[in-house]
Copies of this chain bind each other. A is one copy, B any other.
Amino acid sequence: MTNQEAFDHALALATRSNIAMLGTVDDNGHPNIRAMIKMENQGLKEIRFTTNTSSRKIPQLKNNPKACVYFVDLDKWMGIMLIGTVDILQDSESRHRCWREGFEKYYPQGVHDPDYSVLRFTARKGQYYHSLKVTDFEL
């Protein structure tokens, strides 16, 4: 598989996935994983999530912005891991961009709730896995 083919398959998987796994590194140097709803992907370069500002991943990411995002299709035994960094955003444009109907359930004060944060993951490189093969690509 060429790197371009790997990229194309990876982009299709990321785009059709509603859920991603976000990996971070905690204060003791251990990796942490949690499933998150993908709000938006701009190609494979930028992926946005929302989270409670009070959640544990916020101090982890402030301390260490190194992260990965993993999309997987277990039926096809296909995955992508993207390596990059996360910015924590609370500006008005970012808040409005990722706000969805029903979010008041999580952020009762609405779009300017201080407990509402946007995570913007920016990828630097990626790996596409399929049927035990790994193909690298740069971003």
> Chain A interface (Cβ within 8 Å of chain B)?
19, 21, 23-26, 28-35, 56, 64, 66-68, 70, 72, 74, 79, 81, 83, 106, 129, 132, 134
Contact = CB atoms under 8 A, between A and B. Distances in A.
6 contacts: A23-B32, A25-B30, A30-B66, A31-B68, A32-B81, A34-B79
**Copies of this chain, how many?**
2
A106 B26 CA distance: 34
Contacts of A29: 25, 64, 66
A74 B35 contact: yes
Which of A34, A74, A129 has its CB near the most chain B CB atoms (within 10 A)?
A34
Contacts of A32: 23, 31, 68, 81, 83
Contact of A106 (B19, B25, B132): B132
B72 A35 contact: yes
Contact of A30 (B26, B34, B35, B68): B68
B70 A33 contact: yes
Given A25-B25, A56-B134, A134-B56, A74 B33 contact: no
Contact of A34 (B56, B70, B106): B70
Given A26-B83, A30-B68, A33-B33, 11 more contacts: A21-B33, A24-B31, A29-B66, A30-B67, A31-B33, A31-B68, A32-B81, A32-B83, A34-B81, A35-B72, A35-B74
